[in-house]
């Protein structure tokens, strides 16, 4: 048995899971850097939108959700394996995440937002990531932004 797969006490496990970031993850930062380099301007974590999307491009009426392959169960991805220990806990938990993602995407679409999902495994190759983002975003012309929709700067 490998050292990392040994059982740990509940306090240690809790501390480890608390350290899992919800915002500003490595894949999210990779997508943000690339979007910025491509000349796109965006907002981060808009709490007034369903699900508090990771990246919001108001000019394109588009949101980018950057999902971790494990936590959001990327279908067919090698990073999305369900842990063998305590499957009675993990299977329902991960299923709830997937269900919440579906509801969030539907709610955003109902409000007129285009939803792009980027997966953690897609961020490892900058060239591939750039091609995907460029194709998706350049195919959508900028939307006129109403004067009332402009947000004040914090």
Q: Where are the domains of the chain?
A: 21-140
The tens-digit pLDDT sequence of the chain (154 residues) is 344 546 778 787 667 666 566 678 999 999 999 999 999 999 999 999 999 999 999 999 999 999 999 999 999 999 999 999 999 999 999 999 999 999 999 999 999 999 999 999 999 999 999 999 988 888 877 776 554 454 555 5
Structural domain 21-140, CATH architecture? 3-Layer(aba) Sandwich (3.40)
pLDDT of residue 144: 65
Q: pTM value? A: 0.78
List the structure tokens of 11.
């306090």
Distance between CA atoms of 50 and 106, rounded to whole angstroms?
9
List the structure tokens of 63.
């949101």
pLDDT of residue 154: 52
Residue 36 and residue 44 in contact, taking contact as beta carbons nearer than 8 Å: no
């Amino acid at each position: 048995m490998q050292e990392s797969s040994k059982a740990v006490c509940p306090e240690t496990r809790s501390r480890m899971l608390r350290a899992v970031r919800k915002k500003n993850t490595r894949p999210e930062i990779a997508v943000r850097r690339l979007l910025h380099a491509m000349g796109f301007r965006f907002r981060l974590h808009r709490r007034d939108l369903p699900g508090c999307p990771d990246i919001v491009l108001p000019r394109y009426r588009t949101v980018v959700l950057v999902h971790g392959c494990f936590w959001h169960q990327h279908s067919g991805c090698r990073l999305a394996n369900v842990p063998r220990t305590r499957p009675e806990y993990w299977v329902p938990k991960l299923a709830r995440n997937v269900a919440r993602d579906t509801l969030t995407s539907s709610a955003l679409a109902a409000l007129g937002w285009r939803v792009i999902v980027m997966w953690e495994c897609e961020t490892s190759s900058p060239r591939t990531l750039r091609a995907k983002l460029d194709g998706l975003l350049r195919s959508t012309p900028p939307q006129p932004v109403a004067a009332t929709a402009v947000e004040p700067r914090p």
